[in-house]
Structure 1
Amino acid sequence: MANGVWHTKYRIEINLSLPDLGHPDRPDLLGEITTSVADRDPGLLECLAHHEGRECLSETGGKSPWMFVRRGRVGGRRPLVASHLPVTHRATPAESEQHKATKERIVETASGYGLDARTEVATAHRRSVSDALVTGPGGIRIGWEIQYHHLGPSSVHRRSVTAMENRITPLWVTKDKTAALIDRAPWARVDDMPWREIAGGKEMVIRGGYRYLQVWKCVPSSPRHCPHTEGAGHCEQIHAEWFLPALCHPEKNPVHIEDLVLSSATGESVPVYVPNRGRGRAGRHMWVPAADCRIWRELTAQTASLPEAPPPEEDDVTTFAEQEIDRTCRAGDEGRHACDARPVRDLGQPAGGFTLGRLPTKRADRPMVITPVERAAAAAALGCPPWEVGPCSQCSQLMRRYGRDAAMTCDLCRIALNQGP
């Protein structure tokens, strides 16, 4: 794979393995050379072999000596690599028909619900174009982006930011579990279906990207295991996590693309970004019911649905080996050696994670104070209104203390009292 190119405008040689590209006096150079070819002069970057008058295998094969720069994926590293044009994936006729059929289905669905829907809508200054723009009755604008072939993380981020700057919420659609757009912007994954079935109205289930909030008290009677202990242990605390519909208790009905077209435009479904607490993936993007989002915000004090600039993932950080430039033309080997297989990004695992710790033991000289977060979490776990939540008279754990069929003590304390001497 090529680690060097010639910049035809500045008349300089660029070493892609160096953090400063060999030109510390040009801090904007990286951004310039990684700009999409559609937004710059295609002849800006030249194969070094061609520039030096040696054989360029791409040109010999009837193609172009011009190049573009992208990040490869080699053994866990993300080096910058130069590839000849054109080597990026182009949509096959079948993919193009899938794209067209999905776009038309979204617009027809929205129009059938009485929503304003248009295709190929450009943002201000024509910096980006939404495949389909659906506007809800309250002015919510959803920019649907159907992406059935690979698109790099930087392009997803740039186009999503442009949409949000124009008060459009991006909604990316993919059919691939390895798509780079997953969790880098609000997204939804559907099945890989022939375009005729899409156009014919066959059921299109959202397989990934839509979740429900589950809040439960971690006790032996809970249908879920404790996320913090191994095996079947329980910690007596309250947990909250986001689950796919099929993994909820009780199981939720699947969400179809028609459901998301309507609920996203009316505000009944909203995008949420949940930062990861560990290393690796920066966080999770998902569509969720607005009611679940309100509970999540009460629990976590999160105010914004989407971050203005989410932090880069560990997998997105460019690595620099600081090597000498390889001046051999690598046309023909670039695809094979510049990229390992893309990892699966849609794993379907629970996302988020919030735990409300045990309340302190009640003291006789000080009344117990229940915070709004504690009350909201307990109400969601117990399935009762917040005003019915109160502390157990024995252990002080939150329970359904007030209202019809309420009790003075929790189940565990009642069991312990009945089994006492």
Structure 2
Amino acid sequence: MANGVWHTGYGIEINLSLPDLGHPNRPDLLREITASVSERDPQLLECLAHHDKRECLSESGGKSPWMFIRRGRVGGRRPLVASHLPITHKATPEESAQHKATKERVVATAGRYGLDAEAEVPVANRRSVSDAVVTGPAGLRVGWEIQYHHLSPSSVHRRSVSAMENGITPLWVAKDRTASLIDRAPWARVDDMPWRDIAGGKEMVIRGGYRHLEVWKCVPSSERHCLVSEGAGHCGAIHADWFVPALCLPERKPVLIEDLVLRSATGESVPVYVPSRGSGRAGRHMWVSAADRARWEEIVDEKTPLPTTPVEEDDDVITFAEQEIDRSCRAGEDSWSVSDARPLRDLAEPTGGFTLPSLPPQRPSTSTRITPVERAAASAALGCPPWELGLCAGCTQMMRRYGPNAAMYCNVCRATLNGR
């Protein structure tokens, strides 16, 4: 893997292993050289061997002497790596056919639902193009980005922000659980299907990127584990977390791509961003029902907008080894296979959720006010309207105190009283 390139525009040699790339007077150099090839001159970066008129192995084997910069993945490190561009820098024929079939399916689905849809829509003065834009009856626009091959996190973020600035909600579609776009912007993952199946209408299930909110009281009778205590303990608090349909209790029906086309355009399904609480991941992007998002915002008592500035994850941090430039051509070594495998990003595990502390037992009579956040969480966990909530006459915990099948004492207090 090459650790140096020649910048044809500035006429300088770049050392990718140095934090300042060997040019401290050019603070924007890293951003410039890591831009997508489609957004810069493809001949901006040149193999050093080719520039020095030495043997460049790219001239045989379908490569070009022109290069692009990516982040490698070697032994837990993330060095910058210069790789040779193929002669034709395009997706494989199968990827192109899958891409085209998915785009056409989104547009056709929108048309069947009576929604306006257009393919290949220029965004931001034609600097980028959305694969398809679906417009809902209230004017909500959703930009579908079918991305079946690798794209850098910075490109995903830049294009997503550009879409949002132009009134379009981005919706990225991936087929690989390791895709770097996952959790960088609103996304959905489908199966890796032959293009003929996609075009022929075979069921396309959203495997990742769509979740449901579940709220439960952490007591021994709960089917869910405690989010804060280790082992099989129960803390008595109210927990809320997001689950993929298959892990909901009871299991939810899977969401199909047709469902998401309709719901995202009508506002029935909306994107939500949940910041990470302690892990190396910046946060989770997901599509959820509008009702679930409203309930989540009530429970956590805040609204978190979609990020408009890059949020760097632990795995994004570039490693600079500060080595001498190797001027040999590495065209035969710069394939993806020389890097460690990219980690799975689409994980079905819960997000870490949110815990609302339980009310303290035996509250003084002067402190019995239930806050709006407590009321919203208890209503969701206990499955009753907010106006039926009240305090147990024994322990003063929130319970279903009013309405049909209500009681004065909670189950724990009733069991204690019956045992006397």
Q: Work out whether the TM-score is over 0.5.
A: yes
| 2:66 maps to 1:66 | yes
Residue identity matched to 1:76 = G
Q: Could you list the per-position Cα deviations for residues 224-283 of structure 1 after superposition, in whole angstroms to 9, with x for gaps in the alignment?
A: 121223332211111000001111112111111111111100000000111111131111
Matched residue, 1:101: 101
Determine helix, strand or coil for the equivalent of 1:349: coil
Does 2:346 correspond to 1:346? yes
Residue in structure 2 matched with residue 20 of structure 1 by the alignment? 20
Letter in 2 for 1:288: V
CA-based RMSD: 1.7
Residue pairs, 1:208-287, within 5 angstroms:
208-287=208-287
Counterparts of 1:11-90 in structure 2, within 5 Å, are 11-59=11-59, 63-86=63-86, 90=90
**Residues 162 and 326 (structure 1), Cα distance of their counterparts in 2 relative to 1, 3 Å cut:** same
Are 2:135 and 2:142, in contact at CA under 8 Å, matched by a contact in 1?
yes
Q: Which amino acid aligns with 1:317?
A: V
CA distance in structure 2 between the aligned counterparts of 1:7 and 1:54, rounded to whole angstroms: 17
**Partners of 2:363 and 2:396 within 8 A in 1:** no
The residue type equivalent to 2:94 in the other structure is A
Question: What's the CA shift for 1:373?
Answer: 0.6
2-structure distance, mates of 1:396, 1:238? 15
**TM-score (structure 2 length as normaliser):** 0.96
Structure 2 residue 124 is matched with structure 1 residue 124 = yes
SS at match of 2:335: helix
2:95 aligns to what SS in structure 1? helix
Correspondence 1:196 to 2:196: yes
- Contact kept, 8 Å, 2:68 with 2:83, in 1: the verdict is yes
Which one is further off, 287-296 or 90-99?
A: 90-99
Partner-residue secondary structure (3-state), 2:64: coil
Matches within 5 A, 1:180-191: 180-191=180-191
Quote how far apart the aligned CAs of 1:89 are.
7.3
Q: Structure 1 residues 251, 89: CA separation in 2 closer, same or farther (over 3 Å shift)?
A: farther
- The equivalent of 2:9 in structure 1 is 9
CA contact (8 A) 1:116 1:134 kept: yes
- Structure 1: 5+ residue stretches without partners: none
Distance 1:239 1:305, change over 3 A: same
Task: Give 1:352 deviation, angstroms.
Answer: 4.2
Offset of residue 142 of structure 1? 0.4
Q: Which amino acid aligns with 1:129?
A: V
Tell me the CA shift for residue 129 of structure 1.
0.8
- Could you tell me how far apart the structure 1 residues matched to 2:88 and 2:273 are? 30
Aligned mates of 1:275, 1:356 — CA distance in 2: 17
Q: Which runs of 4+ in 1 moved over 6 A?
A: none
Q: For 1:204 and 1:52, locate their aligned partners in 2 and report how far apart those are by CA, in whole Å.
A: 51
Note closer, same or farther for the CA distance 1:218–1:63 as it changes in structure 2 (3 Å cut): closer
Distance 1:87 1:289, change over 3 A: farther
The total of aligned residue pairs comes to 420
Deviation at 1:391, TM superposition (A): 1.5
Retained in 2: the 8 A contact 1:160–1:170?
yes
Deviation at 1:100, TM superposition (A): 1.3
Question: Counterpart of 1:107 in 2: which secondary structure?
Answer: helix
Report the Cα distance in structure 2 between the residues aligned to 1:231 and 1:166, rounded to whole angstroms.
48
CA distance in 2 between partners of 1:291 and 1:117 (Å): 26
CA deviations 1:97-118 (Å, max 9, x no partner) are 2111111111111111111011
Is residue 157–residue 310 contact of structure 2 (8 Å, CA) maintained in 1?
no
Question: Paired residue for 2:371?
Answer: 371
Q: Distance in 2 between matches of 1:8 and 1:126?
A: 26
Within 2, Cα distance between the matches of 1:203 and 1:62? 37
> How much does 1:51 deviate?
2.0
Which amino acid counterpart does residue 97 of structure 1 have in structure 2? A
Conserved 8 A contact 2:110-2:116: yes
